[in-house]
């Protein structure tokens, strides 16, 4: 079996690539990545020499790249993770999200449809977000039947791509699956999202900017558990189905930040309360959803998936990884890795 993983040098993508390369030595795993700011081949140094791993620098906005790779590898499956994913960036530059997340996805669907017409046993797996559902009140959970109600350019672009994936399934009978996940955290995460940003800021003794009153609530999913879920859905999920993947770990942002500060102080040998002094409340961002929470009972009942770690265990592992990989952190925050790989894959 040959599987193309788009965005495989990114945060979630690299964990998916590693899992498939390691667990399925008989598969060919093709990592298709444009190596933008969040795509980093250093994430895959440990498996890049494996005989079943292949890297292709390419952009899902370039149908020529997609045609070349589909013709060369004749994939049996696509796991589509390539996306612009940061809400703050989408507020500043929404068109980047329209191009990559919507047009890029439609390009990929169209090339897959062209190459797979008249064949069987193929699978197009689209990885999406719980943010497409909008915001919850104080109670309740997102289910697979929750109405879409995106509030940011990022979530609107992902909602649109979800609709296109399902439309290709309905219109052309392309065998598609969609999953919507909650906030991921873990090793190799580019330090722009809350947890890796705050870990890096604590290391560098910089302010910890908390939006608004800090009471925004998110469900947190350990990235390695997400990779296991993606593995299960790809192999055992049903065509044309949707599965929500959540960590069963609701936390208010300020509670998470204070826990992170406490754990960082313990691991770095700081006096208690040192890192918490760095917390700074900043102006809220526009369209900020108050609460997300996922009901992941469907994937649990149908495929047997559940998180393997508590939030505290996953956060502890995450902090340890960053403290042990300060060179990686230095490279990604300075842009050194980008200069190296852009030259290597010109």
Active site residues per annotation = 130-131, 154
Burial class (CB in 10 A: 0-12, 13-18, 19+), 343: exposed
Would you say the C-alpha torsion 7, 313, 219, 144 has a positive or negative sign? positive
Element (H, E) at 211: strand 208-211
CA distance 246 to 117: 34
d(CA 324, CA 322): 5
Residue 95 sits at the vertex; the CA angle it makes with 93 and 98, to the nearest 5 degrees, is 130
**Is residue 57 within 8 Å of 34, Cβ to Cβ?**
yes
Burial code (b: 16+ CB inside 10 Å, e: under 16) for 183-200 equals: bbbbbbbbbbbbbbbbbb
């Amino acid at each position: 079996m040959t599987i193309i993983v788009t965005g495989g040098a990114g945060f979630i993508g690299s964990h998916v690539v590693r899992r498939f390369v390691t667990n399925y030595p008989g598969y060919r795993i093709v990592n298709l990545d444009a190596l933008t700011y969040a795509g980093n081949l250093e994430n895959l140094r440990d498996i890049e020499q494996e005989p079943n791993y292949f890297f292709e620098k390419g952009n899902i906005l370039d149908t020529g790249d997609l045609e070349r790779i589909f013709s060369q590898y004749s994939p049996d499956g696509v796991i589509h993770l390539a996306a612009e994913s940061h809400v703050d960036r989408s507020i500043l530059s929404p068109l980047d999200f329209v191009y990559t997340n919507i047009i890029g996805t439609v390009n990929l669907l169209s090339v897959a449809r062209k190459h797979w017409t008249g064949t069987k046993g193929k699978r197009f797996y689209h990885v999406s977000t719980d943010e497409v559902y909008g915001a919850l009140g104080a109670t309740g959970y997102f289910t697979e039947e929750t109405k879409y109600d995106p509030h940011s350019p990022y979530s609107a672009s992902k909602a649109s791509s979800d609709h296109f994936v399902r439309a290709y399934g309905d219109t052309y009978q392309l065998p598609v699956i969609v999953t919507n996940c909650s906030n991921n955290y873990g090793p190799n995460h580019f330090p722009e999202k809350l947890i890796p940003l705050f870990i890096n800021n604590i290391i560098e003794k910089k302010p910890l900017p908390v939006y608004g009153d800090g009471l925004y609530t998110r469900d947190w999913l350990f990235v390695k558990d997400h990779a296991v879920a993606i593995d299960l859905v790809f192999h055992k999920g049903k065509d044309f189905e949707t599965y929500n993947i959540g960590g069963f770990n609701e936390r208010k942002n300020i509670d998470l930040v204070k826990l992170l500060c406490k754990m960082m102080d313990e691991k770095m040998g700081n006096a208690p309360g040192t890192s918490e002094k760095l917390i700074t409340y900043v102006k809220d961002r526009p369209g900020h959803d108050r609460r997300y929470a996922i009901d992941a009972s469907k994937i649990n009942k149908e495929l047997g998936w559940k998180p393997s770690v508590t939030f505290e265990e996953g956060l502890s592992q995450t902090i340890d990884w960053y403290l042990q990989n300060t060179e990686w952190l230095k490279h990604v925050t300075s842009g050194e890795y980008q200069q190296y790989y852009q030259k290597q894959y010109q």
